[in-house]
Structure 1
Amino acid sequence: MLTGYEHVNVNRDLYIQVNDVHQLYVADCGNPKGVPVVFLHGGPGGHTGKACLQFFNPEKYRVILFDQRGCGKSHPFLSTEKNTPFDSVHDMEVIRQYFGFSSWVVFGGSYGSSLALTYAIIHPERVKHLVLRGIFLGRKVDVDWLYRGGAGYFYPEQYESFRSFVSEYEDPVVGYHEALIGDDEERRDEAYKRWAKWEDSLLTLFPKFPDPTTLSDEERSISLMENHYFYHKMFFESDNYLLEQADRYADIPMDIVQGRYDVICPPFGAHALAKACPKARLHLIEASCHSPYEPAMKDQLIRIMDNLGN
């Protein structure tokens, strides 16, 4: 198993103003003359950090990390104003043009795979290669799997804690939305905790269940942004938007890496994407769940990037 690359230093980090509201944190890493690659974090509501760099040989790649609107080190924190996948596509173009890249490798997992495909639909000419992990297509079936039963069959105790908080609502996404935008601070904090702890419980093949009493900034942003996007049906014009537009990106070189036992983004999403893109390479990782840092998953992602770098 490959253990990953170490990037000793970030070349520079900076803030880029992308509109009248949002200022994004951006980190420029690796070889300034290397192949450009943009890393798209998940969530929505996640963030970037040094761990995100281990898939990329620092001698071969110039890696651009950025925290999406409202999360991580970007400002304003927890802002859902003008915050959609299409806004993030706009931001990627602002960042690409800032650095002067004509095109780049787009690397994204979980919601990052949704954003990568959205970007490829709108700007296919700017994508050298798509490297996607833990495919999330943003359809009703994908959201319902996670919040309305599917994943709950595997972790019933944790799901009961998540679901009981909004038991009076038929759709828990709606119930949590009311709590997260409400004025009751105590209930809002409890909603942050329960939403985030539910997903945290599902990340790895052998999960370490999180402390239900703590609440981090990342858990706040994950909970708020995921709920914001899912409540608004990803802001897509149709339920199957990403696959309906597959002809826009089907000819882009693509590697799809999927954990066989991923209960957050089950393999049926990766299978559907691979069927829509016959030229794509689908890598099913038997001993993995959702996290990119599980050994077999990380090993495969590093091997793919090493091959691209050659």
Structure 2
Amino acid sequence: MKIMNLRASQGLPARMATIPGVSEPNPTPDLAPLRTHGLPVGHGHVLHVQEWGAPDGLPVLLLHGGPGSGCSPLLRRGFDLTKYRLICPDQRGAGRSTPRGGLMHNTTAKLLDDLWLLRRRLGVERWLVAGGSWGATLALLHALDQPEGVLGLLLRNTFLAREADIRGFFEGAPAALAQGWTGMPELESKAAQALAIEWWRWERLRCGQSDEAQTPAGEVLEAQVDRYRVQSHFLREGCWLQEPPLLDRLAALPQVPLRLLHGEQDAVCPAGGARLLQAAVPWAELEMLPGVGHDPAHPLLQAAQRRALDAFAGRGDFGPPGDAV
């Protein structure tokens, strides 16, 4: 069953045929994005999209995690911006897309429609697709949905969106979070803020990040509330990927270069899931990283990503993995 069937099963309309115009290049690409776009995708949603790097570089679709998190400078690390053209969309309801935290008409199938529209708006025939956690999930689904548009897949700490993955993330969490995360979208302001702080703390703990960061407050906290509203909205629906499960869909994946980078100590997306993913996609190369968790900034993960990207820019594949499994 291809992802197109997911769209049809939800009674969604056919994709839009009109493509909005493209914004002009930024005059100072060394100090700011190469280009910034506002992409209307229907039902009041407008995606915030930034491009970085070389205008004539190898196109890369860079997908953020979450759902609901938005792109960040951290995700651009490892890319040689003299060789790559990074295309970084904030997904519906996320980052600087509007309405921030918007849940109406915000589903996995809608995110895939948006990527279809984005590729056509920018005139990209084929692109390398990179993403981590939920971004890796979405990358796989995009390759199923638009196999003709994908040059390769570079995936970090892939989230399989199984019920066990979702339930496992909240195991051991404070009672308020473990029992209340599914109700996040309906909470009033103060209750939503309190739960968002609990979620933020728990997420940092599971990612192995320091607890020294300042607790979100003010506008930063409001952004976290909107982020977790979107995440709760997706997770409580199983990301619309339960029937059939993601692993069962992958037989239709295009046979393009596929590198899986995964931390052996990942407590958010356990390493066993990466091995199941490789078994489902036999040509995929799995590089397990010892001592690495879910943190995308870990030096070993950054080094492995840079090696793979430098190889792809030069030869069209990711080269030999540092620790193939």
Q: Into which bin does the TM-score normalised by the smaller protein fall?
A: 0.7 to 0.9
Distance 1:27-1:283 versus aligned 2 partners, 3 A rule: same
Alignment RMSD: 1.9
Equivalent in 266, 270, 284 of residue 266 of structure 1: 270
Residue matched to 2:141: 118
TM-score by length of 1: 0.86
Q: Is contact 2:292-2:298 (8 Å) kept?
A: yes
Q: Is the aligned partner of 1:222 residue 2:233? A: no
Instruction: Write the distance in 2 (CA, Å) between the matches of 1:221 and 1:117.
Output: 25
**Structure 2: gaps (5+ residues):** 1-28, 315-325
Instruction: Write the distance in 2 (CA, Å) between the matches of 1:237 and 1:288.
Output: 28
Partner-residue secondary structure (3-state), 2:262: strand
Distance 1:248-1:291 versus aligned 2 partners, 3 A rule: same
Q: Is contact 1:40-1:116 (8 Å) kept?
A: yes
Q: Is contact 2:183-2:232 (8 Å) kept?
A: no
Comparing 299-308 with 191-200, greater Cα deviation is found at 191-200
**How many Å apart are 1:202 and its aligned residue?**
2.0
**How many Å apart are 1:212 and its aligned residue?**
4.9
Q: Is contact 1:106-1:131 (8 Å) kept?
A: yes
Partner-residue secondary structure (3-state), 2:77: helix
Residue matched to 2:292: 288
Instruction: Write the distance in 2 (CA, Å) between the matches of 1:250 and 1:273.
Output: 15
Q: Is the aligned partner of 1:87 residue 2:110? A: yes
Distance 1:12-1:179 versus aligned 2 partners, 3 A rule: closer
Paired AA for residue 202 in structure 2? W
Higher relative contact order, chain-length normalized (CA < 8 Å, sep 6+): 1
Partner-residue secondary structure (3-state), 2:61: strand
Pairing 1:51-90 to 2, within 5 Å after superposition: 51-90=74-113
Q: Describe the superposition over 1:111-169 as per-residue Cα deviations: whole angstroms up to 9, x where unpaired.
A: 1011111111211121110100011010101111111x2xx3xxxxxx2xx3x216xxx
Distance 1:280-1:146 versus aligned 2 partners, 3 A rule: same
Instruction: Write the distance in 2 (CA, Å) between the matches of 1:218 and 1:134.
Output: 24
Distance 1:251-1:221 versus aligned 2 partners, 3 A rule: same
Equivalent in 197, 207, 212 of residue 210 of structure 2: 207
Q: Is the aligned partner of 1:177 residue 2:188? A: no
**How many Å apart are 1:59 and its aligned residue?**
1.2
**Structure 1: gaps (5+ residues):** 1-5, 153-158
Comparing 105-114 with 242-251, greater Cα deviation is found at 242-251
Partner-residue secondary structure (3-state), 2:269: coil
Q: Is contact 1:7-1:53 (8 Å) kept?
A: no
**How many Å apart are 1:307 and its aligned residue?**
0.5
Q: Describe the superposition over 1:15-56 as per-residue Cα deviations: whole angstroms up to 9, x where unpaired.
A: 111113200101111111111001000000111133322221
Residue matched to 1:3: none
How many residue pairs match? The answer is: 284
Q: Is contact 1:180-1:191 (8 Å) kept?
A: no
